[in-house]
Amino acid sequence: MATAYHNLSSYDPAKVPLGTEMKIGIIVSEWNENITGAMLTGACETLQKHGVLSENILVDYVPGSFELVFGAKHLAENKEVDAVIVLGCVVRGDTPHFDYVCSGVTQGITDLNIRYDIPFIFGLLTTDDMLQSEERAGGKHGNKGDECAIVALKMIDFYRRNLEG
């Protein structure tokens, strides 16, 4: 597994663009709120650490992970954001529901990245059990929210640099 080799909260601060001129939307699933809330805290703290003003971090919620795609699309269409971070957590159960939700959200975020000129950052934890989720929401493997914040800053910078050329 990738997180066995790389902590989600590890990065080189010197390689992170300054976010003072960036506005970022974050859409959060209310399902598994103990996990998604920790991921949201990590994302917001990391964005602010790198210069994003708190008033330029727009947070909204949807009931579950499947609804993240609609929420992300809504933020992109109705708010002037430079990126949208999607935060959710799906834990494998005894039915195929896990596979359908994970597949749908993955395809939906991929489609949004193709259709819009802003990055949509995939922050959906897909774990076998709650312990794995906790380990990735501020536990021994770091915080997926931190990673998503850094990816958002880097992708906004990437987009802006490639507009100029």
Give the residue numbers annotated as catalytic, written as ranges: 97
Q: Nearest-CA neighbor of 22 among 99, 74, 85?
A: 85
123 - beta bridge partners? 87
Amino acid at 144: K
Instruction: Say how far apart CA 61 and CA 29 lie, in whole Å.
Output: 6
Phi, psi of 103 (to 5 degrees): -65, -45
Instruction: Say how far apart CA 56 and CA 52 lie, in whole Å.
Output: 6
Query: What is the C-alpha end-to-end distance of the chain, expressed in Å?
Result: 37
Determine whether 46 is exposed, middle or buried from the number of CB atoms within 10 Å of its CB (0-12, 13-18, 19+).
buried
